[in-house]
Structure 1
Amino acid sequence: MAGFKVDRISEDVKRELTDILRSLKDPRISGLITIVRTEMSGDMSQVKVYVSSMDGIEGAKEAVKGLKSAAGYIRREINHRLKLRASPEFKFIADDSIEHSAHISTLLKDLDEK
């Protein structure tokens, strides 16, 4: 049963993080930043957040730097919005899955044209 709660709260955190990203004013967190997935630990004390950018892996790394500097604000907002007993610690990780999927899409489009 506990696994369902962790998964549900992980999805809630992802949804709220997406909303919080829109309100951040840091110039490093600009462009098309996407939260690919969130992984919450079993005791709900830590959350790994995988962030991807349309600007590639370098854009995602810059966004991670901005998100790390705003981690305290994000943690407070998540705790306020979700009413958690203890707010989790966030670990932001750069991910290049959007860039990779865009590359695959162009390859498939090229094959379709031939």
Structure 2
Amino acid sequence: MVIYMRKNSIKNTRINGEVKKELSILINREIKDPRIHPMTSVIDVEVAPDLKTAKVYISVMGDEESKKETYQGLKSAASYMRGQLARSLNLRNTPELTFILDNSIEYGVNMSKLIDEINSQSSANSDVDNDEDEDDDDEDYEDDNFEDEVDDDKK
């Protein structure tokens, strides 16, 4: 009889976190492949409920060429990383690793830049509008004083 975990179970979530942590350490500290870009991050890991496979989502900050080289380097080091996972994690099965490039962080950085750019443009426009509004406020103030003077004359 084979017992499978559910995909979103507490145990599966814990295993995902442990595999992610171990792979991050392996990629950043132990693997010395020159193809792997130093700005490579493990974004997420999805271990299958039967522990046979794991999807490893990685992000590489760099150009397309460095992403391809990093992907090839990780692919060639997958069996080594799987062996290291077997040594460090006490699992029934050690999952076969499948690497997937994830551009969500790069996308987020680009969106932040666009938002900052729009905010700086709108603040520059509001500064111009505020200068015009301040001139209008001065005129209103002068008119208010005039009305006060007229009221004083009536008394």
- Please confirm whether the aligned pair reaches a TM-score higher than 0.5, indicating the same fold: yes
- 2 CA distance for matches of 1:58 and 1:38? 24
Does structure 1 conserve the Cα–Cα contact (< 8 Å) formed by 2:82 and 2:97?
yes
Report which of the two has the higher share of strand: 1
Identity of matched residues, % = 38
- 2 CA distance for matches of 1:83 and 1:56? 37
Unaligned runs of 5+ in 2: 122-155
Aligned to 1:55: 62
Aligned to 1:71: 78
Does structure 1 conserve the Cα–Cα contact (< 8 Å) formed by 2:24 and 2:42?
yes
Which consecutive aligned stretches of 4+ in structure 1 deviate over 4 angstroms post-superposition?
Answer: none
Report which of the two has the higher share of helix: 2
Does structure 2 conserve the Cα–Cα contact (< 8 Å) formed by 1:6 and 1:44?
no
Unaligned runs of 5+ in 1: none
AA aligned to 1:11 is: G
Deviation at 1:64, TM superposition (A): 1.5
RMSD of aligned residue pairs (Cα, Å): 1.3
Deviation at 1:49, TM superposition (A): 0.4
Whose RCO is larger (CA < 8 A, sep 6+)?
1
**Count of residues in correspondence between the two structures:** 113
Q: 1:17 to 1:72 in 2, by over 3 A?
A: same
Larger Rg: 2
